[in-house]
Each structure stands twice: as structure tokens, then as C-alpha cells.
């Protein structure tokens, strides 16, 4: 078993080389081990200013913010102010969707576990005022229902904005202020920055995008996304150490022990902490999404050596957090461009193996028989007619097709709104992964994306393509 000192030695000896190998401008790591937090940072916060990253530098944590929002919800549950199985309308009477019956049924638990069923990737900017989240929720009256509430998992940013609005109403203030008062201040987290206005007071990382000519990554054209999506992860920033302190507080909550560092009580009750990391829904085999989902937490493993956490991505920044509760270990990596997912596997995999006896779960990879085009065509010769077709929602159109040679292709056509956030049209070759899914032949964004096909109709055609989000068939 490694001590904090040996973990620190490992980070100092390996982080810089691994960061360069993955073309990541800057990386900050924090590890919870034996109750202590070990931190290290390397690289530059901007390839233009060349300001060096330090352990007090703040990076955006993206969708890891959802766990902070879920924590705030569970505090309301602990206080008896929220019932997880009550319809959201109990707390937000004006909540409306295009499907009135669905809007009346969706529960807090379904929102926390991404099972609400309405379209979840809505990024409308409603301004920078304190009413940004309130205005956003009003716009959801036009959002379409993709599947019945509770039917299955589909990752939802919009669902977490709804939870953020519920928090605002029940606490009678902004989501940002609740986050400060109920998490950051009690834990003494001085770098936590709910918006760019706080982040600018710190040594802030700038997101980077790949250069068109393959050269050094270049700063993204803007720092943060819209305030309307902040409870889902559009702008919250902090140091790796402060994110690790938040993770450590959850470890203490699950164990029912004092947090330490002068903090006497845990964030949530022991029951709430366990419920957050207990599987509420199982997922098909997907890349980067875990085997199951709890109430806020992604669950990678819930076997003999449990592992849970969350990832986050904003414009040019990626964040990663994993917690092994039985061993009291947490690993945080914050990056500002390049192959952050690949770097995380290189750093966290060996660390978790050494500290807990089990590393990260194996990532999905294509079958070994896909080296030659003729082999791939033969693999695609099995009946894939139920997978072929066009799938669409309001932000993207996806098409799975098969060419005359028998090769399979996956095309993504994002709307202008999604392209403004960095998404680009693409066409990638896919191959059979199993009877109900395909997998990208080449790695993209650090992984081989898996496409699962769900809910076949009587004619055998899948009703949904699923890659973390469920997108319904259009034709």
C-alpha cells in the first residue's frame, strides 16, 4: 500500500512526461490517500500567455458539477424538505414540457439518475442575471419527450438544471449562493468559483482546442458556457485539491465520520451518501459512462472493490474524479485540452491498482478481426438492418449506413447551436461490437465510442441509438 509520500513521488516523476505524451497543455492531480491529499500540477494554463500551472490553479470541472447539485438535493432530502419519489411539480408547480402527462409524472429520483425521458441537451443562453436558471426552466415547455419517465437512462443536462432550480426555490436564493453556503464554505474550499467572476481572482486555466495544422493546442474562443446551465456544469471551476476535499467529504459521509480540517459534520447523512452511489439504473455497455448510475454518481463497479465518480467536459477542458470508498481513496485529474481521457487512464489506472487492488475498468475496444477492410465487411455482413437509419433530436442528426463494400459508417450532423459549443460534423467507420451494438474502429476523444441499439420495433428496427444519450429513430 502506497503512502502519501510515495504517491507524491510517483506524480512528480511521471506526470509531466505523460501530460506531454497526451498533448495536454496543463494538468493538475490530487489524490486522497490515508486521509491526506497529495497534489501536483504541470504545464501551462494558456499556450499564449505561458503562465505555469500550480496546485492552486483553477480548472473547470464540467459535469462533475452535477454531483455538487445532487449533494445539495440530498441535503434537502435529509432535512425532510424533498421526497425523492415525489413528482418535481410538488416543488416546481409551473414545470411544463411538451408532453403534459410526462411532466406531471417525472420524479426527483428520476432526474437525479437521468431517467426523466425528455430531451436533455438544451443549451439556450438566458443571460447572465440571477434569473438565468429560472428563465431556462420556463423554456422547457417546448421540450419533447423521448421515452416514458423511468424507462431507461439517457444523460440529461436539462434535468440537472431543473434540480438546480428546485434548490433555488426551496432555499430562496441562487444556486451559486447555495453552493457556497452549503458546500464550499463549510468545507473551507477557497478556490471554488461558480462563475468566471470568481475564477478570474485565481490562477485560472484556459481551455484549448486542437490546432487545425496539428500543432500546439490553441486557446478556445471563450472561457465558459451559459449561466443557464450552471447546475449541470457550464462554468464551475476549482483547484484539483478542492475537488479532492469534496470527494473526501463524501468518503466521510459514507463512513459516518467527521470530515476533519476543522469541519465537524459531513455533507450529507450516511444513508444519503450510500443512496447516491447505489445503482438506480443499469446501462448498456458504453464508452466512458460506467456500468450503472446512482443519484448523481456514475458507478464503474459495485462489486468487491467498488468504484464510482464522474467526468466533466466544457469548451477545451476535461475533468475526472474516481472514488474507491472501501479503501478511502480518491483520484482527481483536471486538464485544459489535448487527450485528457487518455492521460486519466495513464495516471489513475496504475494509481488505483496500487492503492486499491483494482484499476479502472477496461475500456471497450473493437474486435481484433477488424484490421483488413475485407474482414470488417465480413463482420458487417451479419444482419445490421435493424441498426441502419437516421436518428435525431433537436440538437443533432445521426445516421448509420452501410456502403456497397459492406463497411458500416456513423455520421454526426450537429445543429448550428451545438456547433457553436465546439461540436463538428463527422463521419467515422464503425464495426460490430456485439449483437446489439457497434463500436468506432478508431479512437476519438480518447475512446472508442460504443453505439447501442435499443427497444426494437416489431420489424426489428431499433427505436433508439444510445451512446450515453438515447436518440430516437427519425427514419
The per-residue pLDDT for range 202-246, each reduced to its tens digit, is 999 999 999 888 889 999 999 999 999 999 999 999 999 999 999
Per-residue model confidence (pLDDT) at position 3: 83
CA angle centred on 270, ends 268 and 272, rounded to 5°: 60
Q: Is 63 a catalytic residue?
A: yes
Per-residue model confidence (pLDDT) at position 378: 58
- How far apart CA 302 and CA 293 sit, in angstroms, is 10
Per-residue model confidence (pLDDT) at position 306: 96
Q: 471497450: which residue's cell?
A: 364
Q: Which residues face 334 on adjacent strands? A: 28, 319
Closest to 331 measured CA to CA, from 39, 73, 86:
39
Per-residue model confidence (pLDDT) at position 144: 92
Annotated active-site residue in 46, 57, 63, 239: 63
What does pTM read for this prediction?
Answer: 0.94
Q: Tell me the per-residue pLDDT of 255-292, one tens digit each, with 9 for 90 and over.
A: 877 766 656 567 999 999 999 999 999 999 999 899 99
Per-residue model confidence (pLDDT) at position 211: 86
Query: What does the domain layout of the chain look like in residue ranges?
Result: 1-363, 368-472
The CATH number of domain 1-363 is 3.40.710.10: yes
Per-residue model confidence (pLDDT) at position 373: 67
Mean confidence (pLDDT) of the chain = 93
- How far apart CA 442 and CA 447 sit, in angstroms, is 8
Per-residue model confidence (pLDDT) at position 263: 61
| pLDDT values of the chain reduced to their tens digit, one per residue, 475 residues | 578 889 999 999 999 999 999 999 999 999 999 999 999 999 999 999 999 999 999 999 999 999 999 999 999 999 999 999 999 999 999 999 999 999 999 999 999 999 999 999 989 999 999 999 999 999 999 999 999 999 999 999 999 999 999 999 999 999 999 999 999 999 999 999 999 999 999 999 999 999 888 889 999 999 999 999 999 999 999 999 999 999 999 999 988 777 666 565 679 999 999 999 999 999 999 998 999 999 999 999 998 899 999 999 999 999 999 999 999 999 999 999 999 999 999 999 999 999 999 999 999 999 975 566 666 665 555 689 999 999 999 889 999 999 999 999 999 999 887 787 777 899 999 999 999 999 999 988 788 999 999 999 999 999 999 999 999 999 9
Q: 481521457: which residue's cell?
A: 341
Which of the following CATH numbers is that of domain 368-472: 2.60.60, 2.40.128, 2.60.40, 1.10.10? 2.40.128
Per-residue model confidence (pLDDT) at position 455: 93
Per-residue model confidence (pLDDT) at position 372: 64
Amino acid at each position: 500500500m502506497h503512502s502519501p509520500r510515495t504517491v507524491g513521488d510517483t506524480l512528480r516523476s511521471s506526470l509531466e512526461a505523460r501530460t506531454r505524451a497526451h498533448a495536454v497543455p496543463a494538468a493538475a492531480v490530487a489524490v486522497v490517500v490515508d486521509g491526506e491529499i497529495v497534489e501536483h500540477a504541470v504545464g501551462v494554463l494558456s499556450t499564449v500567455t505561458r503562465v505555469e500551472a500550480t496546485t492552486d490553479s483553477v480548472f473547470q470541472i464540467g459535469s462533475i458539477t452535477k454531483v455538487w447539485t445532487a449533494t445539495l438535493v440530498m441535503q434537502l432530502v435529509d432535512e425532510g424538505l424533498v421526497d425523492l419519489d415525489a413528482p418535481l411539480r410538488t416543488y416546481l408547480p409551473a414545470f411544463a414540457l411538451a408532453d403534459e402527462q410526462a411532466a406531471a409524472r417525472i420524479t426527483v429520483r428520476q432526474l437525479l439518475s437521468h431517467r426523466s425521458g425528455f430531451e436533455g441537451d438544451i443549451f439556450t443562453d438566458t443571460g447572465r442575471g440571477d434569473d438565468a436558471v429560472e428563465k431556462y426552466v420556463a423554456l422547457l415547455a417546448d421540450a419533447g419527450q423521448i421515452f416514458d419517465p423511468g424507462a431507461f437512462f439517457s444523460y440529461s443536462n436539462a434535468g440537472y438544471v431543473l434540480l438546480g432550480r428546485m434548490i433555488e426555490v426551496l432555499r430562496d436564493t441562487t444556486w451559486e449562493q447555495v453552493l457556497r453556503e452549503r458546500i464550499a464554505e463549510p468545507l473551507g474550499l477557497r478556490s471554488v468559483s461558480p462563475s468566471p467572476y470568481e475564477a478570474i481572482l485565481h490562477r485560472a486555466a484556459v481551455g484549448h482546442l486542437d490546432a487545425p495544422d496539428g500543432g500546439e493546442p490553441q486557446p478556445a474562443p471563450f472561457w465558459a458556457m451559459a449561466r443557464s446551465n450552471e447546475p449541470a456544469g457550464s462554468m464551475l471551476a476549482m483547484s484539483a485539491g478542492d475537488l479532492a476535499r469534496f470527494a473526501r467529504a463524501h468518503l466521510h459521509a459514507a463512513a459516518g465520520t467527521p470530515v476533519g480540517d476543522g469541519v465537524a459534520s459531513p455533507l450529507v447523512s450516511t444513508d444519503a451518501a450510500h443512496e447516491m452511489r447505489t445503482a438506480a439504473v443499469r446501462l448498456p455497455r458504453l464508452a466512458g459512462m460506467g456500468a450503472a448510475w446512482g443519484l448523481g454518481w456514475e458507478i464503474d463497479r459495485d462489486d468487491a472493490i467498488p468504484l464510482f465518480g464522474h467526468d466533466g467536459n466544457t469548451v477545451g477542458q476535461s475533468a475526472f474524479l474516481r472514488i474507491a470508498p472501501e479503501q478511502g481513496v480518491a483520484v482527481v485529474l483536471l486538464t485544459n485540452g489535448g487527450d485528457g481521457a487518455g492521460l486519466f487512464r495513464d495516471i489513475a489506472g496504475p494509481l488505483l491498482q496500487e492503492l486499491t487492488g483494482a484499476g479502472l475498468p477496461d475500456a471497450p475496444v473493437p474486435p481484433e478481426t477488424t484490421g483488413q477492410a475485407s474482414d470488417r465487411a465480413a463482420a458487417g455482413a451479419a444482419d445490421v438492418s435493424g441498426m441502419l437509419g437516421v436518428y435525431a433530436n433537436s440538437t443533432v442528426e445521426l445516421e448509420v449506413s452501410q456502403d456497397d463494400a459492406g463497411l458500416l459508417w456513423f455520421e454526426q450532423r450537429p445543429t448550428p447551436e451545438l456547433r457553436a459549443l465546439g461540436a463538428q460534423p463527422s463521419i467515422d467507420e464503425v464495426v460490430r461490437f456485439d449483437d446489439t451494438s457497434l463500436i468506432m474502429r478508431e479512437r476519438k476523444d480518447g475512446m472508442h465510442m460504443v453505439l447501442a441499439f435499443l427497444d426494437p420495433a416489431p420489424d426489428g428496427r431499433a427505436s433508439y441509438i444510445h451512446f450515453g444519450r438515447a436518440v430516437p429513430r427519425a427514419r
